[in-house]
Amino acid sequence: MAVLDELSGFEFEDVMEDVFRNLGYENVRQAARTADEGRDVVMEEVVDGTRRAVVVECKHTETVGRPVVQKLHSAIATFEFDGPKRGVVVTTGRFTGPAKEYAERLRERDDPYPIELLDGEDLREIADEIGLDLYNGRIEILCEETLRPHDPTAGIDAPVREAFRDVENIGAAEVPSPRSRVTFRPVVAITADTDAVFETSVGVIHRIDDRTRFVVHAERERPRVADEEVATLVAENRHATVDVGSERFGEAFDDVEKRRFGRTQTGYKEWAVERLREYHTTTVTYTGDNNVTYDRACEPNRSDVSVQSIEPVYLPEVRQTTELLEYSYPYEYYAAGPSRVAVEDGIHRCVHCETSGADGTYTFCPNCGAIACESHIRAERLEGEPVCTGCAVTERFALKRKHFYDEENLEAFREEYAAMSLREKATENRALLGVAAALVLVALFAVTVAVV
């Protein structure tokens, strides 16, 4: 069994927990490692609509005799479960003749607690079925499923064109097709139960009974928990996946990249157990029998955390870049068909300042291609169309700054301004004209009062 033979008994139990989970058993968990009652792993299966408990004894030894099988039979009988029960003894070695005979007699007499025996040869066959690497005893991740990188009912460009609808002064037909790149990033959806009781001489002082579901970015060696939006995106679309190796992705996107999972499935399970132990660790203050107050750190044991499922899937990260004159606008998001979570939104962002967000007002400048906020957009004096402050040529007329597309427009207005009457020139600065009018009225009022 290669390196499996070098595992400790506890390590072998960890491997078997992963094996049974990958075989489709439910609620797979390890029994407490103290005061071993003849059961190392407990789990459940559904057969013909009936849920049945399965109690597993793991023996990392060369031979397993009849006493081990008998002990498990007794443990099954005392295991609390509302329904039928059976047992499994699994070993990296072999079973003795009496052990096999005992298990066979249980089956022949239709014993209510039958026991299945799995030896080293059986493990080799199971390994081929689920992708167990017998050289390191760890479950490798075999995943070819991805969430959809785009909505099959709409074009690849649909998210970008939708974003540009919020930008004023540019129509959908004026937006060129963006360059699109998709990176299939590995994630794992983990479900785990934590069940721990902490007692002292005064009784139970703390209890944990929690089911945790979270999504983990699994690309790097160090996993990272995804934020709530990404976790929801994965959870709500996990049922609608496609083959990540589909050739049509290469036809739809300009660039396609698939990243590798950073760890084995076993590695993510171990990481999740340690993370949940840390998450649930707390200090509890209680009063002892002597009326003295104590503080106790309550940290769950590894056996208190049971990983129920580890579901790998690829999460597409799409980056689309739109070129408009002098500027490039990136729009990056995690995709799941028509649903998405934005990673970078360069469309709802002013190129001249830090203003960003879909709630703002942005206007396209046809002179340079800039998308600008209200503070950095003006009306071009001759054309009456928007121009951004970044590219506009400016000059003061009637003490007011005017904005022009270029020097040619500025020169044209100079000539026009020179030919204006004083009244027309004054209207180029309506604010100043208003102040002047107000001053005249005040003066007239003062003269009237003086005369009276």
Measured between alpha carbons, how far is 94 from 153 in angstroms, rounded to an integer? Answer: 56
Task: List the chain domain ranges.
Answer: 2-139, 180-317
**Region of poorest pLDDT, from 37-41, 381-385, 420-424:** 37-41
Give 152's pLDDT tier (boundaries 50, 70, 90): confident
Interhelix angle 9-22/120-130, nearest 10 degrees: 50
Measured between alpha carbons, how far is 7 from 137 in angstroms, rounded to an integer? Answer: 8
According to the model, what pLDDT value does residue 35 have? 46
pLDDT at 254 over 90: yes
Q: Which three-class secondary structure state does DSSP give residue 126?
A: helix
According to the model, what pLDDT value does residue 31 have? 75
State the average pLDDT over residues 265-291: 93
Span 232-248, pLDDT tens digits = 999 999 989 999 987 68
- Report residue 347 as tokens: 């469309």
Give 432's pLDDT tier (boundaries 50, 70, 90): low
The correct CATH number of 2-139 out of 3.40.50.2300, 3.40.1350.10, 3.90.1640.10, 3.10.20.340 is 3.40.1350.10
pLDDT at 185 over 90: yes
Which amino acid belongs to residue 362?
Y
Give the torsion sign (CA, 434, 437, 441, 443).
Answer: positive
Span 49-98, pLDDT tens digits = 999 999 999 998 889 999 999 999 999 999 999 999 999 999 988 999 99
Measured between alpha carbons, how far is 372 from 350 in angstroms, rounded to an integer? Answer: 4
Terminal alpha carbon distance of the chain: 117
Nearest to 384 by CA among 369, 403, 399: 403
Neighbouring CB atoms inside 10 A of 379's CB total 11
Give 1's pLDDT tier (boundaries 50, 70, 90): very low
Mention every residue, 6+ apart, whose C-beta is less than 8 A from residue 446: none
CB 351 within 8 A of CB 372: yes
Q: Which three-class secondary structure state does DSSP give residue 154?
A: coil
* Partners of residue 271 on adjacent β-strands: none
Mean of per-residue pLDDT scores for the chain: 89
Span 390-407, pLDDT tens digits = 999 999 998 899 999 999
pLDDT at 258 over 80: yes
According to the model, what pLDDT value does residue 438 have? 57
According to the model, what pLDDT value does residue 34 have? 45
Q: What angle do CA 102, 103, 106 make, to 5 degrees?
A: 90
Give 447's pLDDT tier (boundaries 50, 70, 90): low
How many Å is the Cα radius of gyration of the chain?
Answer: 36
- Between the alpha carbon of residue 412 and those of residues 193, 326, 378, 400, 422, the distances in Å are 76, 25, 18, 17, 19
Q: Which three-class secondary structure state does DSSP give residue 219?
A: coil
